[in-house]
Structure 1
């Protein structure tokens, strides 16, 4: 089913830089003299922890805590768990006594919605569903959904129609629905970082769909993150080094609704599917949620608009690859 394929990131951790294989360890923690590596899933995306620990009695307990926290947050944000808070909200149009994490994430989403002039908008889920239904149908028109159908769905989009407080979340218009795929993985990454820091971890790389480093590696060097335009890339087009920073990448090549690859999953809330602007959009920020949300919004902007936005976010860096292959960088030096 097309809607279940939502991978838009194309970040690969540099295994060689960490000195570790990152495959074949799913769901396990390995304690040895080397760092502890765990791999699993978070919100449908591959998840990885690389932990440097002096206390070798901690890994199994820490991994259990991380897995439990991931499961708890999936019960809030997952589109594919029918009992999740997000699924209940989308199905019923309202939810009473919402989880604090959902209230917090929607509050942050409003900040990014307003700062981006509405380009970051979690209410695009009806648009995603429209394109998925259209191109899943037999003999689907390769030109995409008809204009009346698109206009009808666009009327359901707009984060200004999401009413949020600690007691209730509700939609102002019928047919509205949310997807948090452009921000939730960053939020989950940040919550796992908070958990590990509370346990005294000072050297770790957390990847819950987005990457965030705690401190440096044990030798004092930074964590190296490889950037690529597709998940299938065999080598990165750029490597960034981070300490106590987060990295998020959006790529239009991550998923297309159609075989002709004209209609990508990064949707403009004003118009629907739009021509791709960039091969890769990477944002480095102090936290993964900010990097995640801005990499989504910037993918819909021109280079001039991105440059102006960077002035509003002085602590971020942007590293993008244009469709021509040219690299452009803004903000803090990577």
Structure 2
């Protein structure tokens, strides 16, 4: 059976294959409830979420275990990427939204003074966390989990379905994860952007027991000149410029999601170095150039 809905403000879907339709319907209901529960932990847009409370107060006692788990996974990618992936960029997002949402904004972006004030609040190393407490080391810091939470929720749904006996499913909660293969034994098919000039706009990837995440600055841009986007470089405050799109295939959706964000901000050589030490990681970088060169690393 299939389900379509919303999760973290994005379209979401599930295709679940189970020999017992009633059992499948119950599992889908449980999965939808789990998505709603985790939104109350990770959503930036719900004032009652654990994340919103942390950002308001600067500390969170007795945090949900999923919050601690996602911070642990975030720290791994933050370290591996040399800080390119950094969930503490939220002050930069707030600054850019305020600047470009105002009357007659300077197209060059915020002033250097305001940009510096926001940049000093960025740094995942200043997020202190344990199973008992999460706290910011500096007043004014804030987190966004938009670069990893969709993948994390996708993985939790897959775990729930697997525990319920499902062996074949395709889940899309903003990021895509395949559980097993299709009922006919073939891999699931996932389309990702192709290089400009190719006769087909999409390349179709064969996916089995893996996740796919994509990132592109076209997802949201603050300005018409495309210098500021939702893919914010925590080192400069500017938007990602290197690639038209990044696609990552990984063993789970959490890491695919986070790495697709990190790789959007890293040159190809740096991406190659990370992929070489991460089993099961595959990357497609579609360069933002006249040629639109496609660079690929990793093997399944």
Q: Does 1:328 align with 2:279?
A: no
Corresponding residue for 1:106?
Answer: 71
Match of residue 213 from structure 2: 248
2:158 is the counterpart of 1:193: yes
CA contact (8 A) 2:233 2:240 kept: no
Q: C-alpha displacement at 1:260, in angstroms?
A: 2.9
User: Alpha carbon RMSD of aligned pairs, Å?
Assistant: 1.2
- 2:176 aligned with 1:222: no
Aligned residues between the structures: 293
How far apart are the structure 1 equivalents of 2:232 and 2:99? Answer: 15
* The one of 304, 307, 315 aligned to 2:280: 315
Structure 1 residue 275, shift from structure 2 partner: 5.2
SS state at 1:268 partner: coil
Secondary structure, in 3 states, of the residue corresponding to 2:226? coil
- Partners of 2:211 and 2:256 within 8 A in 1: yes
Alignment of 1:202-213 (within 5 A): 202-213=167-178
Q: Which residue does 2:197 correspond to in 1?
A: none
- Tell me if the contact between 2:240 and 2:264 (Cα under 8 Å) persists in the aligned partners: no
Q: Secondary structure at the match of 1:57?
A: helix
Query: Partner residue of 1:168?
Result: 133
What SS is found at the alignment partner of 1:262? coil
Listed as ranges, the matches of 1:177-192 within 5 Å are 177-192=142-157
Unaligned runs of 5+ in 2: 195-199
TM-score, normalization by structure 2: 0.95
User: Which residue among 236, 252, 255 is the counterpart of 1:287?
Assistant: 252
Q: CA deviation at 1:111?
A: 1.0
Once the 2 structures are TM-superposed, how far is the Cα of residue 252 of structure 1 from its aligned partner? 1.0
- Which residue in 2 is equivalent to 1:17? none
Residue pairs, 1:3-152, within 5 angstroms? 36-152=1-117
Q: How big is the shift at 1:41?
A: 0.9
Over residues 147-168 of structure 1, what are the superposed CA-to-partner deviations in whole Å (9 max), with x where a residue is unaligned? Answer: 0000011000000110001111
1:259 aligns with 2:230: no
- In the TM superposition, structure 1's runs of 4+ consecutive aligned residues that sit over 4 Å from their partners are none
Over 3 Å counting, the alpha-carbon distance change for 1:111 and 1:55 in structure 2 is same
User: TM-score if structure 1 supplies the norm length?
Assistant: 0.86
Counterpart CA distance in 1 for 2:286 and 2:13 is: 26
Q: Once the 2 structures are TM-superposed, how far is the Cα of residue 263 of structure 1 from its aligned partner?
A: 1.4
1:262 CA displacement:
2.4
Contact 1:264 1:276 in 2 (8 A): no
Distance across 1 between alignment mates of 2:227 and 2:270 = 24
Shift of 1:65: 0.4
